[in-house]
A and B are shown apart, each in its own frame.
Chain A
Amino acid sequence: MAKLPKIFSSIFISFLLIQSTVNSQNKESKNLLSRDSNPQGITLGLNLEGPIGYLFDKDKSAFSMVTHINLSSNWFFRGEAGFENLTFSDRHAEERNYQYQSNGSFLKAGLLYDFFNVDEPGNNDNIFIGLSYGFALQEHGSQSFLIKNDYWGDYQASMTNYFLQTHWLELIAGPRTEIMKNLYMGWTLNIRVKVFQDNSKALIPFSIPGYGSGDKNINLGFSYIIEYFIPWNKKRK
């Protein structure tokens, strides 16, 4: 049930993006320019997934920066770097029989293909599909955990902090639109598949930075990105 507000926010933001895409295309169609290829350059932006998630789960704070770089007219490099801090608060103490804390960072790098081919003049919108590789390094532990035993007595202990790393592949798909000159906004649906983790102890990470739920081998995620475009070697029309 706690995820419902997150879904509603996804729907809301998606509607905004679609509407802005429509507006952008209508506005640009008044020009007599035509789109022959994506403008060349680099973007720097924010992934709003972490800050929006914080509104619904105050235990977790996450932040990441995203960049897109044109490699050719339809191919883009996508990079992302960020961090995630998580500490169980007392609010959820009754429903969980353990305390948990985690701090970590992540990197993602991959290729996107833009298959949004349209003859509308000045239209720089994209629909991406691509693949990324993700890597996270985090330190996590459990200050206290309790295993109930009504007959012989409960068992209480702790798990000291230790480092672990996780590697995954991420299938990415979603649209991006230019909402103002050089300012882009977009969302992507991400299917993340864990490929390796060097966890030497029993504790499974509650959340892996950049990946999501630590006890799942496949995670679905959403990214909401706002980014600024810095052109190079080609004048934008």
Chain B
Amino acid sequence: MNLVKYTFLISILLLTAIACSDDEACLSNQHSVQAQLLSAWWDTDVDTTLTEVTVIGLGQEDSVYNNESVSELFLPLNFHTDTTVFVISAKTLKDTLRLVAKRELDFISRECGYIFSFDLDTVIHTKTFIDSVSIIYPKIKYGETTENIQLYIY
């Protein structure tokens, strides 16, 4: 009978472990391009801060940022199209940033369901105060917080 008892006890311990490890928290807002602002005046990468920044998606009424000082930007991508366009204003200056990304539908988990993952292909911009843009990590994936692009600012 000892074997039966041991089997029983091990089973209960395993079941308890399963029950305790099954909860999962679902993350939100996992579809933004993370942009670092760098100074274009230096040979090496030096962080910079833009003041009085307003960022609005093309065709949108609400702003992503409204008259804020920023050293990095989180730019949410559009699920309905491969190209997402933002108008970035700093004081009286304006630039347009066009993000082209391939969308891929992913299923995260039983609890959290679907999400879009993106693969950033191209960034096109005007050159009022943005000197250049480099893509350093093109993947925008659920649960990752890696910087995707660097914006070099005049």
Contacts and interface: CB of A to CB of B under 8 A. Distances in A.
Main secondary structure of the interface of B (DSSP, over half): mixed
Given A7-B19, A97-B113, A189 B4 contact: no
B110 A3 contact: no
A203 interface: yes
Contacts of B60: 151-152
A30 to B, nearest CB: 17
A98 B113 CA distance: 6
Nearest to B24: A215
Given A96-B111, A97-B114, A215-B110, A152 B79 contact: yes
A150 B29 contact: yes
Interface in B105-130: 105-107, 109-116
B125 to A, nearest CB: 19
A147 B111 CA distance: 13
B15 A7 contact: yes
Interface stretch (A10-18, A32-40, A66-74): A10-18
Nearest to B10: A189
Contacts of B77: 152
B116 A147 contact: yes
A174 to B, nearest CB: 6
Interface size class of A (residues with CB under 8 A): 35 or more
Given A152-B57, A174-B7, A203-B107, A147 B18 contact: no
Contact of A206 (B1, B104, B110, B114): B110
Contacts of A215: 107, 109-110
B64 interface: yes
Interface string A176-209: 0000000000010100000000000011101000
A152 B80 contact: yes
Given A3-B19, A18-B5, A153 B80 contact: yes
A14 B19 contact: no
Contact of B15 (A98, A153, A220): A220
Given A14-B12, A145-B113, A152 B4 contact: no
Contacts of B15: 7, 10, 220, 222
Nearest to A98: B113
A10 B11 contact: yes
A131 to B, nearest CB: 17
A220 B7 contact: no
A11 B19 CA distance: 14
Nearest to B6: A127
Contacts of A153: 79-80
Nearest to A148: B28
A109 interface: no
